[in-house]
Structure 1
């Protein structure tokens, strides 16, 4: 099956550079709404058979235009929500952001015992994300769906793909940003593994939908 992992559109927290991971989270900015609509148009001819979002507001809003275009209900999927920042929640300073990103990419490198300050460790993150993607793959196989789209979050997508795609690694994931509505496309399944098809780090719809002034921790060249 083909798996499209789509980052949500821009949020107020992205503009301010906040580590904003708590539920239910903010909605989208005006630019974020336009990004979501452009993303839907760009995937108009993709044979998407199922559409999922995380439990947070911003992913449901981002998925809505794609659902309307493909006449699909957006299924809320527990497990693909953003990696919780714990004690770093809502902080904007560079040291906190480096600590957050350094932690999540260490998980992709296999250091699963490392824990986010007052937050989860790598075992917890991969446990929930793997289980969610397994559900998506199982449903796709049962219904013979060619592709499924999951609207999730920047750090979560980069960390999971950096570990689970067999032709990339944690260093690739750390170097390659995922701007709002960026897409990581994979092919395969949980049993045979996942092959990276493409990693579109820029907003779908082009740089006209980018915001170079935003301090987005998961985009704009942020590094651990």
Structure 2
């Protein structure tokens, strides 16, 4: 299966650099709507047969232009929502963002027992994302797109793609409506083909993700708040 993971468009909380992860969450900024409107053209060469969104409003709004262009009804699944920030919810200071991202990428390294302060542990987060991917794979669709969230996508890809090092995923941004394309299956494993349009075999810094919020930023970016 070809799996296309898309981060949602820009939100007001992204601009304010806040860890805003609760349901239903904010809508999109004007730029976010423009980013969403550009997705059908960006994915014109992809034969998308199924489209999934999370339970957060921003993924529905991001997916809407693509759904309309392809005549698809988005499938809503809680499993691909953002990593819950717990006690860090709506914080944006550097220390809170550092704790959030290091916890998330610790899960990618197998430290699944560690719990986000006041939130989920790695078993819960990875398990729910795995379940949605397994469901999609079970549909026999050749290509599936999922509109999800920055930290959730980066952590899951780092944990599940055989050719993505955790430290590389942690230090490379995923901008709003940034796309990661993978091929594989839950049984045979996954290989990441591209990260924001760049071949994963040629890892380059994808930038700081300005105004795309802390969940998409490099772990050690000093401007990550």
The two structures have a TM-score, normalised by structure 2, of 0.90
1:223 equivalent in alignment to 2:210: no
The alignment's C-alpha RMSD in Å is 1.8
Structure 1 residues 65 and 119: CA distance shift in structure 2, 3 A: same
Structure-2 residue corresponding to 1:44: 44
- Please list the CA deviations of residues 181-213 of structure 1 after superposition, one character each: whole Å capped at 9, or x if unmatched: 0011000110000011101179xxxxxxx9976
1:116 equivalent in alignment to 2:116: yes
For the residues of structure 1 that align with 2:193 and 2:178, how far apart are their CA atoms? 14
The two structures have a TM-score, normalised by structure 1, of 0.90
Gaps of 5+ in 1: 203-209
The one of 162, 169, 174 equivalent to 2:165 is 169
For the residues of structure 1 that align with 2:152 and 2:209, how far apart are their CA atoms? 22
**In 1, are the aligned partners of 2:174 and 2:209 still within 8 Å (CA)?**
no
Structure-2 residue corresponding to 1:85: 85
Structure 1 residues 130 and 222: CA distance shift in structure 2, 3 A: same
Structure-1 residue corresponding to 2:185: 189
Gaps of 5+ in 2: 199-206
Structure-1 residue corresponding to 2:174: 178
Structure-2 residue corresponding to 1:158: 154
Structure-2 residue corresponding to 1:206: none
**In 2, are the aligned partners of 1:11 and 1:27 still within 8 Å (CA)?**
yes
How big is the shift at 1:219? Answer: 3.0
**In 2, are the aligned partners of 1:101 and 1:223 still within 8 Å (CA)?**
no
For the residues of structure 2 that align with 1:102 and 1:211, how far apart are their CA atoms? 17
Residue pairs, 1:54-133, within 5 angstroms: 54-133=54-133
Q: Helix, strand or coil for the counterpart of 1:149?
A: strand
How big is the shift at 1:45? Answer: 2.6
Q: Helix, strand or coil for the counterpart of 1:150?
A: strand
Aligned length: 213
